[in-house]
A and B are shown apart, each in its own frame.
Chain A
Amino acid sequence: MVALEARHLTKCYYSTVAAVSDLSFCLQEGEVLGFVGPNGSGKSTTVKMLTGLLEPTHGQVVSRGARIEQDLVHYRERLGYVPEEADLYPFLSGREYLELVGTLRSLPRQSLERKIDAMLDLFSLSAHRHSAIGSYSKGMRQRVLLIAALLHDPALLILDEPLSGLDVTSAMVVKNLIKKLGEQGKAILYCSHVLEVVEKVCGTVIVLQKGRAIAYGPPSELMKTAGQASLEHAFAHLVEGGDSAQTARDIASVMSAA
């Protein structure tokens, strides 16, 4: 069953600049869809439209057969979202922040507290649960965001760079978790620059460039089509990024110049 569908999504800023142009795709239940593209390709704009934070100029986002704007509150009840930046309230503790999110999601008090404590423990944040978020490291903030997105057991997860700032162990946990949740039937949109992870975790990948989807399919097929051995190389082949080796050589020569 289709959990989320983007139909001809287009977003123009200042009436003329198209950040996303005629983008269409489907996210099935139990599918992990990778969303990759160079900086400024329109990933974040698309994610914001999919979460209902941004209204598309044209096209629509459909969930369970209905446009999300028709019942945004109900749609968001089923949605777990990890934004690109962990901009949290520095004056709240990690636990307080999760309590706030859980309460606003109308989760029952007792189960919420149990869940928060268990999640904090599993994400190795127990020792810091009463410390202000202002004193957290980037990785700790990211873990708080992940917990906040998972607390209500959402059917649909939109993860924008969820591994940003995480240490190796936590990143491995999250990677395995994404696979597990996919197996459980949850629909996951995984947005990232780390292509090795996308290759391992996602069943399907969309490559975005200048607001348009330039490739859409399983990673193995993309690699095969591009004639490359890894998704990273396939990506470099697909997008107009120039010769990365040559750019590196240019940087080195500028560094050594007097």
Chain B
Amino acid sequence: MILTLEEPQRSRWESLNENGFYRLVRHCADRVFYGGDGTSCDVEMGIGAVLAIFSTPGTFAAVALAVKYGTVFHFLRNEAHFNAYVASFPDEYFFAVLSMTIAGAVAVWKWDSLLPDRRDHANLAHLPILGGRILVANLLALVILVVIVAVDVNAGSAILFPLIACWTAPTIGYIVVFFFTHAVAMMLAAVFGFVAVLAILGILMASLPYRVFRKCSVYVRTTLLILFVALLMTSFSEGGKIETIHSAVAWTNFPPPVWFAALCQWLRGIDNAPFPALSLAAVLGTVAVLVIATGAYALSYRRCFLRSAETMVILPAGGGAVAAHVLRALDGVLLRGPVQRGGFRFVIKTLFRSETHALTWIGFTAVGVMIASNDLLLAGSKTAASSHVPSAVVLGLPLILTYFLMFGLRVAFEIPGPLRANWTFRLGVDPGTRECAALARRVMIAFEVPLLAVSLVLYAHFWGWEIAIVHTLLLAAMAGLLIETLLLGFRKIPFTCTAPPFKQTTSVAVILDVLGLFGFSAAVPALERHAFVDPLRSATGIALMLLMWWVCLYGTRKNQIEPERRLIFEDALPPVLEVLDLTFRK
């Protein structure tokens, strides 16, 4: 059934639409959501789908906590007087981290479209609108966006978590208080996460020349993402520790999510020494970032937007003489033929200059660095460099980095650049070329070689040259096989093909990738560690394993038919129905 608006409502709606300021606010909200240069691969999803994705982690986390709060488990744990308010403190910390991380990540994702840019200036500045109206309209659109994100990220958990946690609650009021305190604290955490990123963006835009801002933008975004991942990881390790906060410790000793978890507890009336100070930090912190972000936004608007017509858009480019020398040297040793030589320069420059691509591979590598650091810290004194042979954890560190670096590069290769520029390759490259995988392989090798060199030097410094050389050789072999595996069936010039469609095998591939990480960075180093102690058995095992891997790759590649090797510029699923040519005229 199609609902029609009543006449008075319709006219009100229409008059609202005719209102210039309202239309401007709506437009600003649209440009924040759909923004981007329109030439790269912005994800084409509706607002509903995006909001559903944002709310999913909180919802699942709330459901997963049923184990902790279920009555059967209380009975089994002999917890007769279970106080959900007190028991939920570490979980509130987790939800605060989640809320802050997702909201902050949204701000990082929308980094380029949060503030009005040159396109807005070109389209709006010459219209009869007061300059301040664009400023206010965009600010209003941002406020709306922040509120929507804060509500959406916490919607699932705000409803489900109180119900699950207070299942055995004595009164409805108990649940209502739980709901409101959770919702207020977590939404405030989300606002804090989003606005903190906005403040950083505004400060950078207001203080740096545009050219410098664009250049450092990708590094700032990556750093922020790493910080958010690090914050997320604390929720798994710090939850237990937070439960034991009792003494009055300064609020500066805790990361912001603890402030919001404490605020939640304080609003519930739980009497704990540090809670009032931490709650105050949460409120004042949010107010502070709001004030800083608004000030920085106004300054950047004045400095960048209003002066758009005055400043030239000269974006950083040019690798300099050193890069040119390096590339010329690579032409002699690594690159063969025009496709490899031209393509290599194109791929390297895209990987470093395109924000989307740089964020992808740097982001993956950063996760690798985080996992490696975490492993190293957890291993603690066991991994002391003074040990005769490095532990499996230490041996696994460069493998983890290799895995994430190669994986990040492979994912980045699949992200299309401006497809309109593809004609350069469509015209210039022979469609029958088999150089695509070779090109991608060389790029990956170019990224891996410095890692191998650093690994060799570090292991030699701590454990001597013998161990360093053996380990580096194994690392090189593993990296080589990983590269070959990742490039199986690769027949695109990186960034020039449309984004791959979702295939049914994608989910399986993701599971295999996770298992692959375990095998690559945990199982093999463990075997290698044994090999240093008992060379004959373990070394043979490793050699056999690598040989089997290589044979599998060789067999798979051998079975590929000619059309599966041809260069493509459009990645499409095979047709559901295939028309067979039974006339045999071809």
Partner of A13, one of B24, B122, B129, B310: B310
Task: Report yes or no: A85 in contact with B122, Cβ–Cβ below 8 A.
Answer: yes
From B26-34, B85-93, B145-153, the one touching the partner chain is: B26-34
Task: Report yes or no: A76 in contact with B128, Cβ–Cβ below 8 A.
Answer: yes
Judge if A81 is at the interface, Cβ distance under 8 Å. Answer: yes
Judge if B171 is at the interface, Cβ distance under 8 Å. Answer: no
Question: In the docked arrangement, what's the CA distance between A103 and B17, Å?
Answer: 8
Partner of B123, one of A75, A87, A109: A87
In the complex, which range does the number of interface residues on chain A fall in?
A: 20 to 34
Task: Report yes or no: B126 in contact with A103, Cβ–Cβ below 8 A.
Answer: no
Task: Report yes or no: B310 in contact with A103, Cβ–Cβ below 8 A.
Answer: no
Residue numbers in B under 8 Å from A108 (CB-CB): 18
A105-B17 CB under 8 A given contacts A53-B309, A85-B122, A87-B122: no
A91-B17 CB under 8 A given contacts A104-B124, A105-B128: no
Residue numbers in B under 8 Å from A89 (CB-CB): 31, 34, 38, 119, 123
Binary contact readout A106-125 vs B (1 if CB under 8 angstroms, 0 otherwise): 10110000000000000000
Task: Report yes or no: B127 in contact with A106, Cβ–Cβ below 8 A.
Answer: no
A104-B23 CB under 8 A given contacts A73-B130, A87-B118, A89-B123: yes
Judge if A21 is at the interface, Cβ distance under 8 Å. Answer: no
Question: In the docked arrangement, what's the CA distance between A91 and B18, Å?
Answer: 21
Task: Report yes or no: B23 in contact with A81, Cβ–Cβ below 8 A.
Answer: no
Question: In the docked arrangement, what's the CA distance between A253 and B37, Å?
Answer: 39
Residue numbers in A under 8 Å from B17 (CB-CB): 103, 109
Question: In the docked arrangement, what's the CA distance between A52 and B129, Å?
Answer: 12
Judge if B14 is at the interface, Cβ distance under 8 Å. Answer: yes
Which chain A residues in 67-92 approach chain B with CB under 8 Å?
A: 73-77, 79, 81, 83, 85, 87-92
B24 to chain A, nearest CB (A): 6
Question: In the docked arrangement, what's the CA distance between A133 and B39, Å?
Answer: 11
- Among A13, A90, A133, chain B packs the most CB atoms within 10 A around the CB of A90
Residue numbers in A under 8 Å from B24 (CB-CB): 104
Task: Report yes or no: A109 in contact with B14, Cβ–Cβ below 8 A.
Answer: yes
Question: In the docked arrangement, what's the CA distance between A99 and B130, Å?
Answer: 19
B26 nearest in chain A by CB position? A100
Task: Report yes or no: A104 in contact with B34, Cβ–Cβ below 8 A.
Answer: no
B94 to chain A, nearest CB (A): 36
- Among A77, A88, A89, chain B packs the most CB atoms within 10 A around the CB of A89
Judge if A51 is at the interface, Cβ distance under 8 Å. Answer: yes
Task: Report yes or no: A53 in contact with B125, Cβ–Cβ below 8 A.
Answer: yes
Residue numbers in B under 8 Å from A106 (CB-CB): 20, 128
Q: List 16 A-B contacts (CB under 8 A).
A: A48-B309, A51-B126, A53-B309, A73-B129, A76-B126, A83-B122, A83-B126, A85-B122, A87-B118, A87-B122, A88-B123, A91-B34, A100-B23, A100-B27, A105-B20, A108-B18
Apart from A74-B128, A105-B127, what are 16 other A-B pairs with CB-CB below 8 Å?
A48-B309, A77-B128, A79-B126, A83-B122, A87-B119, A89-B38, A90-B37, A90-B39, A92-B30, A101-B127, A103-B20, A104-B124, A104-B127, A104-B129, A105-B128, A109-B18
